[in-house]
Amino acid sequence: MNTGKKQWWAAVAVLALAGCAGLGGPSGRPGASAPPATCDAAAAQFAIGQSFGPALERDVRARSGASIVRWLSPGQAVTMEFNPARINLTLDGRSRITKVACG
């Protein structure tokens, strides 16, 4: 193999290895700097029995530490993926909260 081809393959190998090096924060995603917030459902149990609304949603989010609030209506289809930063509020037919859980 001549010198030019060896240098070319060496450059390709360096670029390939550089692509394997993480370029983001701790999670490896670009711009990521800290793990997502986690949810504390115990801190949001006060909401059970209350009518769901924007003010209550903000209060639940603030007290639980969750970054996402998902409300679940009766009969609603729900994805099953777990998200530690999400709090789920289960509502009855009158939009009153019957259950608070993280995930």
Confidence at 41, pLDDT banded by 50, 70, 90: very high
CA 14 to CA 35: how far, in whole Å? 31
Instruction: With a cut of 60, say whether residue 26 has pLDDT above it.
Output: no
CA 88 to CA 47: how far, in whole Å? 11
Instruction: With a cut of 80, say whether residue 7 has pLDDT above it.
Output: no
For the chain, domain boundaries: 1-35, 41-102
Instruction: With a cut of 80, say whether residue 80 has pLDDT above it.
Output: yes
Instruction: With a cut of 50, say whether residue 16 has pLDDT above it.
Output: no
CATH 3.30.10.10 for the 41-102 domain, yes or no: yes
Mean pLDDT value across the chain? 79
Give the DSSP letter of residue 35.
P
Confidence at 37, pLDDT banded by 50, 70, 90: confident
CA 98 to CA 84: how far, in whole Å? 20
